[in-house]
Amino acid sequence: MPPDAMIAAAGKALVDHRIYTIRLRKMGEFVEVWDRLAMPILLRTLGSPLGFWTSLVGAQNQFVHLWGYDSLADYEQRCQARDTHPDFPKYLAATEHLIVAQETRLIRRVALPSMETMK
């Protein structure tokens, strides 16, 4: 995780680490649709993301994004807002043919005393 995302994530109890595997040669189309249809909804419902990445080494054609949450309840509330947003089905329909697989991991922060000196 890049340093700026680490700093943003440091204040969050949970991070949604999501990986989409995109159809071969369709990443450009996916990113365009994501930015145009999903991002306006996600910014309103989930807040500011920690960041976005695509795979370089290892499994290919993967789009990775991270979102921070204060608690499991915060995650559930914001996800429900996203899922019930009236425009969200448009994004789902527009990307159905582009996404091969999705992994969602909720990871939690671990406080390490050695990291306290870096603040």
So where are the chain's domains?
A: 3-102
pLDDT tens-place values along the chain, 119 residues long: 455 544 555 678 999 999 999 999 999 999 999 999 999 999 999 999 999 999 999 999 999 999 999 999 999 999 999 999 999 999 999 999 999 999 999 999 888 888 776 65
Which residues on neighbouring strands pair with residue 19, listed in sequence order?
64, 103
Pairing of strands 14-22, 49-54: unpaired
User: What does CATH list as the number for 3-102?
Assistant: 3.30.70.100
